[in-house]
Amino acid sequence: MTGRERGTLAALLAIALVAAVGFGGMKVFEYIQHEKITAEKKAHNTTAQPGESLVLDGDADDSLVLSNGDAYTAYFGWTGKMEVSIKDAKLYRNIEEAKKDLGDEHWLYENKGALLVLTVDMRNIDALSFDDDERGWFNISYLGTLQPCEYSYFDGTAEGASPDGREDTFFNLPQGQEATYHVGLLIDDPGSDLSDLWIHAGVNHPYKYRFKLDIEDLRGARS
């Protein structure tokens, strides 16, 4: 190998080394940033234990921005504050079993699957809906599960809601008033371990506002 060839090889090795160090450094930086943002999110996450309430502040939620400039917004569909608690939760084997307790009214959608029925207490402190037509209605679909679910039952549908099914999860709760609603969520297969079956508030970032549940499992209670 000539001196020129050795020099060229050394230069190429140096370039490769610099590139490798740069790539490795970039990966380390990305990892550190990821861990930093994850820690920031965890610091803003809130979990209510069974029976506890959360004050869901739409303004505070909407204004939260992480250090990387990304919004960390759950989005409830309102400005102002709504106090929410889940009083109890019952899991039925299917809709037919649930109807023995709930009756035949207020069903929005019927399909196969287990039904999680929530008793939800809500108090409108000063919340105003984003409803475009100024009716001031809210949408109970801001509550959901991490697993795919369908809204099957709701006994708080606002009077005058469209009968075509697009508004059957809307409810009317003026400022200063409170109400208790029952919500039924169809879940395909919740399994036997219900520890991961919890409710999130907001349509984005399901870990930001969570309600832990003390579920009464009725799937095997009746023949």
CA distance 79 to 28: 39
- Can you say whether the dihedral through the CA atoms of 25, 26, 30, 33 is positive or negative? positive
Percentage of residues in the chain with pLDDT exceeding 90?
59
Average pLDDT over residues 92-116: 93
pLDDT tens digit string along 183-210? 999 998 788 788 889 999 999 999 999 9
pLDDT score of 7 more than 90: no
Cα(123)–Cα(52) distance, rounded to whole angstroms? Answer: 13
User: For the residues 149-177, what does the mean pLDDT come to?
Assistant: 88
pLDDT attached to residue 5: 60
Of 8-22, 35-49, 64-78, the range with the lowest mean pLDDT is: 8-22
Output the pLDDT for position 192. Answer: 77
User: What pLDDT is stored for residue 66 in this prediction?
Assistant: 87
| Span 158-168, average pLDDT | 77
Q: What is the pLDDT of residue 21?
A: 58
Average pLDDT of the chain, as a whole number = 86
pLDDT (mean) for 11-17: 62
Distance in angstroms (rounded) separating the CA atoms of residues 207 and 47: 8
* Residue that has been written with the tokens 């109807």 in this structure: 99
Query: Across residues 43-51, what is the average pLDDT?
Result: 91
Q: Compute the average pLDDT of residues 108-135.
A: 88
**Euclidean distance between the first and the last CA atom of the chain, given in angstroms as a whole number:** 87
Q: 3-class SS at 160?
A: coil
Q: Is the pLDDT of residue 29 over 60?
A: no
Q: Which residues contact 214 (CB under 8 A, 6 or more apart)?
A: 50, 51, 88, 89
Give the pLDDT band (50/70/90) at residue 160.
Answer: confident
Average pLDDT over residues 130-145: 83
Q: Which pLDDT value is given to residue 25? A: 62
* pLDDT for residue 10: 61
